[in-house]
Amino acid sequence: MRWTSCSPIYCRVQQRVWHGTYRRYSTNLQDLEVNGVRYQRDEFTNVRPSILSHLSRNIYLQPNHPIAIVRSLIENHFGSSFTPITSLPPIVTPRQNFDELEFPADHPGRRPSDSYYLNKDWMLRTHTSAHEIQVFRSGIPKWLLSADVYRRDEIDRSHYPVFHQMEGARVVEPVDMRQLAQENKELERALGKVNIEVEDLSSTGEKNPYQPWHNKEHALLVNANLKHSLNGMIYALFGNLAAQRGGKPLQVRWIDAYFPWTGPSYEVEVLFDGKWLEILGCGVMQQAALARSSVPSDRVAWAFGLGLERIAMVLFQIPDIRLFWSQDPRFLQQFSAGQVTQFKPYSKYPNSSKDISFWLKDVEVHENDVYDIVREVAGELVEEVKEIDRFTHPSTGRSSRAYRIDYRSMERTLTNDEVNTLHSEIGSRLRDLFSVELR
Ligand code: PHE
């Protein structure tokens, strides 16, 4: 099973089903060294050089890069009272990424089939929420944190194992609640004047409860502030685009969600080209998580996390997520700081589609293992990988799998020889690492 959608958001992961054992395929026994720090390999180690090579790219900090442009748009919208945080390194502990946020011990996101581990004690953050507790602990009341995050996932035009998130939060003290009520009125008034239609399908209350230990009035105010603030941000991002596309109102909807460290929790979707696009996850911070940051118990806070690629793909009309990593001037020179412009495709080079199928021998192969091998061998020369067959022979019980790999460069035409070499290397690695029998 895969993520149900290219979810930059974590609640959906619960719907995923785990099957089989995970077989590590790191055969190199030397310790890993990243930025001068050594990490001893163990049975969790699954991060590969192709992934680690992204740690130093920092595309979200290059002012003329679409990811950085979206980041700045959001930072400017929230204004200078929100402190931007952009320099936290991606290697965190599973405690930061999961435990401090109350992820249950058996949450699928923890599995090495889903996340990248340097070893059992260190991993690549899978979301910017991994830093919430430490930032709240620093006492900053309003902040926006942007960073690269890493997840093992499928391969297609909207999935890449590295992407970017922005986390935002606000902590409110009891003395500021009256002012918050006033601010909420103003935000509501401002939203009433613009062309946005917000449908609230959430059922805050019984199914998506407020926290019993909160002062109800304060929780309601913070919850309302979360909704108004994010609706305002979404309008700032997408309002123009909606106006250009025939002047229909920008349609936004709020639905219930579940995150272990917020309550109530929501997901927000925007209607785009007839499809609802999941933009962010958010909620009122669970008091237990805030207490872990030594935030006094009378404060109430909200937090959200959004995927920057997804927003940038819509705003700039960028058709393939691999383009964000392009170093081709034909891509990079199209964008400049502060401006949202339509990407002009420079050309579409031909693709070459090849199938690979194999019998499993005693070892379960997780599809994310196949995707990682494909990434390792062919990198950004692969546009999409699809599982096209999964079969178990009724009498022998042998299982087979088949995948279709679409090779396409965004920068040049690939030669047949080149594609054949890549394809057979993928086969050899599957054979060496998982003992599969190629068909
Ligand atoms: N970290 C969550 C995700 O990646 C989003 C989120 C952030 C949800 C903050 C609630 C609060 O899916």
Q: For atom 3 of ligand 1, which residue has the closest CA? A: 9
Q: For atom 12 of ligand 1, which residue has the closest CA? A: 9
Whether the CB of 9 sits within 6 Å of ligand 1: yes
Peptide bond into 90 cis (omega under 30): no
Q: Mean pLDDT over residues 165-190, rounded?
A: 98
Burial of 259 (C-beta count, 10 Å sphere; 0-12/13-18/19+): buried
Residue 307 C-alpha to ligand 1 middle, in angstroms? 10
Residue 259 C-alpha to ligand 1 middle, in angstroms? 7
Q: Is residue 48 part of a domain?
A: yes
Does 426 lie in the same domain as 395?
yes
Q: For atom 7 of ligand 1, which residue has the closest CA? A: 305
- Percentage of the chain modeled with pLDDT above 90: 88
Query: pLDDT digits over 342-359, tens only?
Result: 999 998 999 999 999 999
Does 242 lie in the same domain as 105?
yes
* C-alpha 161 chain-centroid distance: 9
Does 175 lie in the same domain as 316?
yes
Looking up residue 367, the CATH number of its domain turns out to be 3.30.70.380
Q: Is residue 20 part of a domain?
A: no
C-alpha 63/C-alpha 109 separation (Å) is 32
Give the global pTM: 0.92
Q: Is residue 11 part of a domain?
A: no
Domain residue limits at 183: 32-332
- What pLDDT score was predicted for residue 27? 46
Residue 282 C-alpha to ligand 1 middle, in angstroms? 6
Whether the CB of 129 sits within 6 Å of ligand 1: yes
Does 102 lie in the same domain as 69?
yes
- What pLDDT score was predicted for residue 438? 96
Q: Is residue 106 part of a domain?
A: yes
Q: Give the mutation target among 4, 127, 256 for probing the ligand 1 site: most ligand atoms within 8 A of CB.
A: 127
Whether the CB of 302 sits within 6 Å of ligand 1: no
Residue 92 C-alpha to ligand 1 middle, in angstroms? 16
Q: Is residue 338 part of a domain?
A: no
Q: Mean pLDDT over residues 388-413, rounded?
A: 96
Atom of ligand 1 nearest to the CA of 306: 5
Does 89 lie in the same domain as 154?
yes
Q: Is residue 345 part of a domain?
A: no
Question: How many domains in the chain?
Answer: 2
Query: pLDDT digits over 240-277, tens only?
Result: 888 888 888 999 999 999 999 999 999 999 998 889 99
Q: Mean pLDDT over residues 55-69, rounded?
A: 97
Query: pLDDT digits over 281-337, tens only?
Result: 999 999 999 999 999 999 999 999 999 999 999 999 999 999 999 999 999 999 999
Q: Give the mutation target among 167, 259, 285, 310 for probing the ligand 1 site: most ligand atoms within 8 A of CB.
A: 259
Contacts of 215 (CB under 8 A, 6+ apart): 174, 298, 300
Looking up residue 164, the CATH number of its domain turns out to be 3.30.930.10
Whether the CB of 127 sits within 6 Å of ligand 1: yes
Residue 208 in this model has a pLDDT that exceeds 80: yes
Whether the CB of 52 sits within 6 Å of ligand 1: no
Give me 369's structure tokens.
């293992």
Q: For atom 4 of ligand 1, which residue has the closest CA? A: 9
- What pLDDT score was predicted for residue 344? 97
Does 395 lie in the same domain as 276?
no
Q: Mean pLDDT over residues 171-193, rounded?
A: 98
Residue 292 C-alpha to ligand 1 middle, in angstroms? 18
C-alpha 439/C-alpha 433 separation (Å) is 16
Q: Give the mutation target among 98, 129, 131, 262 for probing the ligand 1 site: most ligand atoms within 8 A of CB.
A: 129
Does 370 lie in the same domain as 232?
no
Given a contact cutoff of 8 angstroms between Cβ atoms, the answer to whether 286 and 102 are in contact is: yes
Does 315 lie in the same domain as 357?
no
SS3 26: coil
Residue 13 in this model has a pLDDT that exceeds 60: no
Does 370 lie in the same domain as 300?
no
- What pLDDT score was predicted for residue 255? 98
Whether the CB of 108 sits within 6 Å of ligand 1: no
Does 359 lie in the same domain as 323?
no
Q: Which of 2-6, 8-12, 57-61, 210-214 is least confident?
A: 2-6
Q: Mean pLDDT over residues 52-58, rounded?
A: 96
Does 187 lie in the same domain as 277?
yes
Given 302, 332, 362, the domain boundary residue is: 332
Does 390 lie in the same domain as 266?
no
Whether the CB of 259 sits within 6 Å of ligand 1: yes
Q: Is residue 397 part of a domain?
A: yes
C-alpha 2/C-alpha 114 separation (Å) is 10
Q: Is residue 23 part of a domain?
A: no
Given 301, 332, 363, the domain boundary residue is: 332
* C-alpha 429 chain-centroid distance: 28
- What pLDDT score was predicted for residue 29? 60
Q: Measure the N-to-C terminal CA separation of the chain; round to a whole number of Å.
A: 23
Q: Mean pLDDT over residues 169-186, rounded?
A: 98
- Percentage of the chain modeled with pLDDT above 70: 93
- What pLDDT score was predicted for residue 242? 83
- What pLDDT score was predicted for residue 372? 95
Q: Where are the alpha helices (DSSP H) in 260-364?
A: 287-292, 308-315, 329-332
DSSP states of 155-196: -BTTB-SEEEEEEEEEEE-GGGHHHHHHHHHHHHHHHHHSSE
Contacts of 187 (CB under 8 A, 6+ apart): 225, 228, 229, 232
C-alpha 104/C-alpha 196 separation (Å) is 37
Residue 11 C-alpha to ligand 1 middle, in angstroms? 8
Residue 1 in this model has a pLDDT that exceeds 50: no
Average pLDDT over the chain reads: 92
Given a contact cutoff of 8 angstroms between Cβ atoms, the answer to whether 210 and 219 are in contact is: yes
